[in-house]
Amino acid sequence: MKTIDASAIDHIEVINGASAMYGNGAAGGIINYITKKPKIDKSFHSSTSLNNSLSLVKPSETYGYNLAQVFSGSQNKFDYVVQGKMREPAWSAALMAPL
């Protein structure tokens, strides 16, 4: 879940009893993250978010921030979401597109 920023998620589906659908080795359930689709009236959209966190127990050791940039749009019949996130002390990036 660290590679998908919360601002890129439209909704979350929880499917119970996945072993009945996917076989003996499957987990007891599946969490499906559905990302946002681009706005129909726009072929390109961008958003930026900045968050911070701090624990009062050890403030000097627990301060952090999260900067996320999300681009989404559509090209012909292909919808896309491109996301980059920088977190202190680490960063991550993801590219998501429905098939």
Tokens standing for 80? 């896309």
Rounded to whole angstroms, the Cα distance separating 42 from 34 reads 20
Residue (of 94, 41, 40, 98) closest to 71 by Cα position: 94
* HSE value, Cβ hemisphere, 13 Å, CA-based, for 52: 5
| pLDDT tens-place string over residues 34-73 | 887 765 556 777 777 777 776 677 666 666 777 888 887 7
Rounded to whole angstroms, the Cα distance separating 62 from 59 reads 5
Residue with tokens 């919360």: 6
pLDDT at 86 (0 to 100) = 74
Residue 33 has pLDDT above 80, yes or no: yes
The H or E element that residue 7 is part of is none
| pLDDT tens-place string over residues 80-94 | 778 777 777 554 455
Q: Which amino acid, residue 74?
A: S
